[in-house]
Amino acid sequence: MCLGIPAKVVEINHEGRKGKADFGGVSREVDLSLVDVKVGDYVIIHAGFAIELLDEEEAKESLALWQELLERCSDTGTRD
């Protein structure tokens, strides 16, 4: 139900309310009324609506951040 799929906004119309998003090669109509987006943005689509933007930079950096998290926490001891 709360499943959300990343897609790229490829078209915006109806005063920004509707548009088309590309799901890895397949383009579908989506409702954009819950977000402020521009063509080229990545969004999370849930039940036909874009519910939030996907921050591309943040996404690309996740793996690096995770590595860093592991390094940073490597000295943490056990509970006692």
Which residues form the interface with other proteins (CB under 8 A)?
A: 1-4, 6, 17, 24, 31, 33-36, 44, 46-49, 51-55, 58-60, 62-63, 66-67, 69-70, 73-74, 76-79
Query: Is the Cβ of residue 13 or residue 66 nearer to other proteins in the bound state?
Result: 66
CB contact at 8 A, 4 and 45: yes
Name the minimum Å distance from CB 73 to other proteins: 5
Query: Is the Cβ of residue 10 or residue 35 nearer to other proteins in the bound state?
Result: 35
Name the minimum Å distance from CB 53 to other proteins: 8
Of 8, 13, 3, nearest to 27 (Cα)?
8
DSSP notation for 16-65? TTEEEEEETTEEEEEE-TTS---TT-EEEEETTEEEEE--HHHHHHHHHH
Query: Is the Cβ of residue 40 or residue 48 nearer to other proteins in the bound state?
Result: 48
